[in-house]
Amino acid sequence: MFRVSGKPKVYDIGGVKLGGQPGDYPTVACFSIFQESDKLFDKGPRRKGFNEKRGEDLLKSADKFSAETGVPVMADIVASPGEKFNRYIDFVTSASKMPFCVDAIQAKTKLDGAAYCAEKGLLDRMFYNSITVWADPAELVEEIKEMAQIGVKNVLLVAFDQTDQMPTGRVSGAQKLLDAIEKAGAKFETVIVDTTTLNGPAAAMCGIAGKLIKEKWGFATASAPSNGSYMEFKRFMEMWGAKSWGAIDAAVESLSAVFFNDLVFTGPLAGAPRVIPAIALADAFLATAVFNETKELPKTEAHPINKLWPDFAKNLKVRWQEAAELKKVER
């Protein structure tokens, strides 16, 4: 039920493992920072700067929750058109050791950010967010060629098909991007496929597509459940208020963690205290379900089930061994 056929690939980005069979490794929570509406920016133009103390506090808070729960964290560093990533990358990497991605609307901005990471020796710790099916095909191939020339190792593919919005459309969208990579003559060490969240309930389509992608190619899978909750922030805030909206957000993040996603884009960094514990419980829930199928516990001691419920994890193994021994005696 929870395992997939084949042998899904396991990747390492900046010391964080992701991929493999569901339940093997904890789900990565990737939080955005410096997005257009980020409260780190004081009133006025973005180029006036940001609140470094607030940014450092948010990064340290995410790192603290990560250490205590076992849920790995990454930073989705966002640059607006015309901006350079340099100061944002310098700030995040000086304040935290977490891996990160460069994320921008324009390819040139992303490529400049990737080149800066190459210059700083950060490519092992960075992934490129992203190459998408919406790009012009010729421009996409040129973008991929430049990524390869820079030395990008880890890449996110955003897969979708407007004519087929079912899970199969995410698979066909991924195929188009793989064809473009092949045409460009490029190879990447890590391939993560983001299956495009449209709203909260549609996150189920992402999970099903993730399973299909894992079984077809073995790639790591991702989605952005926060797109589903934040796009409807105003509607649910007006209906029920902040606490109830927060419940919706935590629910869609944790459901996505259970449902064939190795990485989830979890919205602004300020949400870490709400989202990381929700994902930790989801990971422990999944690990328990997988144990029932396989009698195997996660591959790492830092997994949430071992960090937060160590006695329960130990008892699972002991009880199974005792039951196995009893069956032998009865035979």
pTM of the model: 0.94
pLDDT of residue 49: 85
DSSP for 102-135 reads EE-SSHHHHHHHHHHHHHTT-GGGEEEEEEETTS
Residue 318 domain flag: yes
Residue 2 domain flag: no
pLDDT of residue 42: 78
Summary mean pLDDT of the chain: 94
Residue 169 sits in a domain of what CATH number?
A: 3.20.20.20
Mean pLDDT by runs of 10 across the 331 residues of the chain is: 94 98 98 91 75 96 98 97 93 98 96 98 98 94 98 97 91 97 98 93 95 98 94 92 95 97 97 98 97 93 97 88 60 58
pLDDT of residue 45: 66
Total domains present in the chain: 1
Q: What angle do CA 281, 155, 179 make, to 5 degrees?
A: 120
Residue 1 domain flag: no
Burial class (CB in 10 A: 0-12, 13-18, 19+), 1: exposed
Helix (H, G, I), strand (E, B) or coil at 74: strand
- State the residue range of the domain holding 136: 10-330
Residue 192 domain flag: yes
Beta bridge partners of 329: none
Torsions phi, psi for 270 (to 5 deg):
-60, -20
Size of the chain, expressed as the number of residues it contains: 331
Burial class (CB in 10 A: 0-12, 13-18, 19+), 130: buried
Residue listed under structure tokens 């470094």: 52
Give the Cα separation of 72 and 91 in Å (integer): 19
Residue 64 domain flag: yes
Residue 52 domain flag: yes
pLDDT of residue 328: 59
Residue 68 domain flag: yes
Residue 238 domain flag: yes
pLDDT of residue 318: 84
Q: What H or E segment, with its residue span, contains residue 172?
A: helix 167-184
pLDDT of residue 145: 98
Give the Cα separation of 175 and 186 in Å (integer): 15
Torsions phi, psi for 126 (to 5 deg):
-115, 145
